[in-house]
Amino acid sequence: MGIEKLTDKEKKQEKIVTMFDDIASTYDRANRVLSMGIDIQWRKKGCDKAFEVLGKKELEQITDVATGTGDLLIYWREQAQKNGVAISKYVGIDPSVGMLEVARNKVDFAQFIEGKAQTLPIEDASTDVISISYGIRNVVDRVEALQEFYRALKPGGIVVILEFTKQDRSGMVDKIVDFGMKNILPRVGGFISKNYEAYKYLPDSIEEFLTTEMLSKELEEAGFEMKYTKSFSMGISTLLVAQKR
């Protein structure tokens, strides 16, 4: 019986997961420094908008995909309390063992499961919310992942995506932002993590990723109805909220 060979997509996905394993221990510190903490407000806005769209005071489950160190789950719980929403269960899913190890030590109220966005280890129609922050562009089989989100969400459930989407940078401010992403970010992130290549990957992956309009279209093709789209901080980050029809 021969050894099954990995496809090019699978090899790329494994390389990305290994990269995140390598930077797991310094990931939170690098994020706070690079974003100057403003990413916290982006995450909280996504949580608040989801609760607004759902309009419910009791939810069974929130599932954070590509959860990394579990950061977003902390803000899900904080914003749920502020919005008077009771959540029965929090679940974080990620393919990186290194990231999950950090998450389990940091977040004691959630269940963490090793798994991929393309094959979520949860039941059909079992979760009220699926979130993925700055992770969807790292999913090689993105269309399959969106179909998985649709499968796992309850009818009327919400998917919340925060991502660095591709922008048409032509103005002076845009050029400054672009310079920072391509030149300063890899150096600072590389210095903190001791892994320059991982933080050079970030601007490269954004450049290769979709525009907001293209990602919205993919969500709609997967069966979702777009409910909210907003760009933050000169288009650096974009929030998309879509609902399962």
d(Cα 200, Cα 184) in Å, to the nearest integer? 10
Question: Domains of the chain, with CATH numbers?
Answer: 8-244 (3.40.50.150)
Q: Which residue, 53, 47, 67, is CA-closest to 120?
A: 67
Cβ–Cβ < 8 Å for 157, 236: no
What pTM value is reported for the model? Answer: 0.81
Reading the chain (245 residues) residue by residue, the pLDDT tens digits are 444 567 877 887 887 777 777 777 776 666 665 566 788 899 999 999 999 999 999 999 999 999 999 999 999 999 999 999 999 999 999 999 998 999 999 999 999 999 999 999 999 999 999 999 988 988 889 999 999 999 999 999 999 999 877 655 555 555 555 655 566 556 666 656 666 576 665 656 656 667 889 899 999 999 999 999 998 866 678 999 999 98
Copy the structure tokens of residue 99.
Answer: 């990231």
Per-residue b/e over 13-23, b at no fewer than 16 CB within 10 Å? Answer: beebbebbbbb
Angle at the Cα of 203 from the Cα atoms of 199 and 206, rounded to 5 degrees: 130
Token pair belonging to 198: 């991982």
Beta partners for residue 113, in sequence order: 93
Q: What whole-number distance in Å separates Cα of residue 73 and Cα of residue 52? A: 17
If we measure between CA atoms, which residue out of 189, 191, 130 comes closest to residue 158?
130
Helix (H, G, I), strand (E, B) or coil at 139: coil
